[in-house]
Structure 1
Amino acid sequence: MGENGKLRIVEWAMANGLPPEGFVDMGFLERHRIPAVLAECHAAIFPNRCEGATNLVAMEAMACGVPVILSANTGHLDLIQDGNCLPLRRQSAVADPTGRRRHWGESSVEEAVELLETLYTDRAAARSRAEAAQAFLRGERTWRAFAEAFVAAVA
């Protein structure tokens, strides 16, 4: 953490071997700027060890038509449907000495690279996945559908 309480992403990336031209630190983005940024993306990858709920940023990427790669664990499982994304299925266990990391997983870097290459080399299939994701969000993941499913689960 920096003195201002913000993460020091640039320093972290460079300390881990990334050259300055290998990444872009966009800083804090105001909400209205996010769709334009997502429109420039060829893919979005979320190799999260744990997602405490359904990943809103992943859903935003999917809604904007960005092909998405999701770790097949925790909250991402709610988003993974046949054909709407590429799941990172190779999940290794995360150390859990206190028993609070149930269902967490460490995504395989090799699998992540393979799936990024899949999206890059087959743009038609990537577009098809992105369209399936948009349809999924517009159909099953609306607030109304969520509320109805929640009420049914509680009842």
Structure 2
Amino acid sequence: MKRVVIVPGHSYKDPGAVNESLGITEYEYCLNRTLELLKGDTWDDIDVVLKTRNRSYSELPGEIDSLSPDYILELHLNAANKKAQGSEVLYCRASSRGKRMAEIIQKNLVQRLNLADRGAKSKERKEAGGHILWGTKAPCVIVESFFLDSTRELHRQEVYEALRTSIREIVDKGV
């Protein structure tokens, strides 16, 4: 059985991006998508595990590694200038498996959300997101589904379907 650890980005103390008009934070949105994935399907051959940040961000890779994952997805939402749009998935430059995971997830997000394709992007250790991408043993990606600060709708069902399809495809293809 493969284990997929899903980490909602940020925390209650550090909620991340905010859409004031819709009254939701990045952490709330990503946590809810993770909970949907946990209850939405019977994953007979996949152990989907929720991991929230307990302490500091610097300790997160070790906390995740202690769960012995095969794959790691950290869910985030972008924020910029209240105008930017699109989806992107980040991966560790040195991880061919992470790159393949990012490409699969990006393909499914773009198909489901019909937003701009910002691509699967490699990250270096010192860049934003690099700590978790480079610090875990299993391949890890950071999923930036859309820009929370510039959307009028939250794409709940579409993001759920894209992630569900992606997890199934990653495991089935043995990425």
Structure with a larger share of its residues in helix: 1
- Range into which the TM-score falls when normalised by the shorter chain: 0.3 to 0.5
Higher relative contact order (CA 8 A, sep 6+): 2
Larger radius of gyration: 1
- Normalised to the residue count of structure 2, the TM-score between the two structures is 0.31
- Normalised to the residue count of structure 1, the TM-score between the two structures is 0.34
